[in-house]
């Protein structure tokens, strides 16, 4: 199994072991710093910690952590140039599988400008992006994301994450992959299964988004096991379990 979106820096090594023992072989850990960022050095240290330290912690417990790095919308800073320069380096050295998570939260001008710039970097480097949608005002923010995205990057290079039953209709007509986050206070596994049942398995990725907020490191295997129990075909289960992620991220 592949958990396509988590935040390893916020989790214990014991969580990695639980995930591995439950059948998760690979997870993609994304950037998100939950505290106020005073300057670009703090953010750069956060990104380097994920790349150099958390991947090592994951390996020690059997979990292959792939990395997505970028500027989360809540981490927008006034001088992001050093982050952009490092994104080019990480992409060139094949140290990251995507730019992420990026996106919009409060629709500020600085968020929008940072989002556009990172989409442009992805376009220049032929990279994938993981796009955040917020808990609040999700529909309004998603509409803005879908307006901006095709002006800067081919939609087929993007996964729009944290999609739920309230907004899935707005994203289905795009060429984006869509991320289903099964997490307390976000979406239950029954809601994810409803979406898969209604819209099919081809466009979706599954993740836990475990972070400093209420989380379940086993939400992906729990959802997969529920699909087995309900009698869904092995072909479809394998798509959402790992094949879609392997194909999209080339992992």
Is 110's pLDDT higher than 90? yes
User: Is there a contact between 34 and 58 (Cβ–Cβ < 8 Å)?
Assistant: no
Q: Name 144's Cβ contacts closer than 8 Å, sequence gap at least 6.
A: 104, 107, 112
Please give the tally of structural domains in the chain: 1
Rounded CA gap, 141 and 137, in Å? 6
Q: Name 217's Cβ contacts closer than 8 Å, sequence gap at least 6.
A: 6, 11, 15, 18, 19, 208, 210
C-alpha atoms less than 13 angstroms from C-alpha of 179 in its C-beta half-sphere: 29
- pLDDT tens-digit series, residues 50-65: 999 999 999 999 999 9
Rounded CA gap, 45 and 53, in Å? 11
- pLDDT tens-digit series, residues 201-239: 999 999 999 998 889 999 999 999 999 999 999 999 999
- What pLDDT is recorded for position 186? 86
- Which residues constitute the domain of residue 154? 2-249
- The number of beta carbons lying within 10 Å of the beta carbon of residue 135 is 11
Residue 27's CATH number? 3.20.20.140
**Entry pTM:** 0.96
What integer best gives the mean pLDDT of the chain? 96
Rounded CA gap, 207 and 201, in Å? 14
Place of tokens 């072909």: 235
Any idea which of 17-26, 36-45, 135-144, 163-172 has the lowest mean pLDDT? Answer: 36-45
C-alpha atoms less than 13 angstroms from C-alpha of 114 in its C-beta half-sphere: 30
Q: What is the mean pLDDT of residues 157-180?
A: 97
């Amino acid at each position: 199994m592949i958990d396509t979106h988590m935040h390893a820096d916020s989790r214990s090594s014991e969580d990695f072991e639980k995930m591995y023992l439950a059948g998760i072989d690979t997870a993609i850990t994304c950037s998100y710093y939950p505290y106020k960022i005073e300057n670009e050095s703090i953010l750069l240290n956060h990104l380097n910690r994920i790349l150099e330290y958390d991947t090592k912690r994951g390996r020690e417990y059997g979990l292959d952590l792939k990395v997505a790095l970028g500027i989360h919308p809540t981490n927008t800073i006034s001088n992001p140039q050093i982050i952009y320069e490092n994104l080019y380096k990480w992409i060139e050295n094949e140290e990251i599988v995507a730019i992420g998570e990026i996106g919009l939260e409060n629709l500020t001008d600085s968020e929008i400008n940072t989002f556009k710039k990172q989409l442009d970097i992805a376009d220049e480097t032929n990279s994938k992006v993981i796009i955040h949608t917020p808990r609040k005002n999700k529909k309004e923010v998603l509409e803005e994301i879908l307006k901006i995205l095709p002006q800067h990057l081919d939609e087929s290079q993007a996964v729009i994450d944290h999609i739920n039953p309230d907004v899935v209709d707005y994203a289905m007509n795009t060429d984006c992959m869509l991320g289903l986050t099964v997490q307390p206070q976000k979406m239950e596994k029954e809601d994810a299964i409803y979406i898969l049942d209604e819209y099919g398995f081809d466009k979706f990725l599954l993740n836990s988004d475990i972070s400093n907020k209420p989380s379940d490191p086993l939400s992906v295997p729990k959802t997969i096991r529920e699909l087995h129990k309900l009698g869904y075909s092995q072909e479809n289960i394998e798509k959402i379990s790992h094949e879609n992620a392997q194909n999209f991220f080339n992992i």
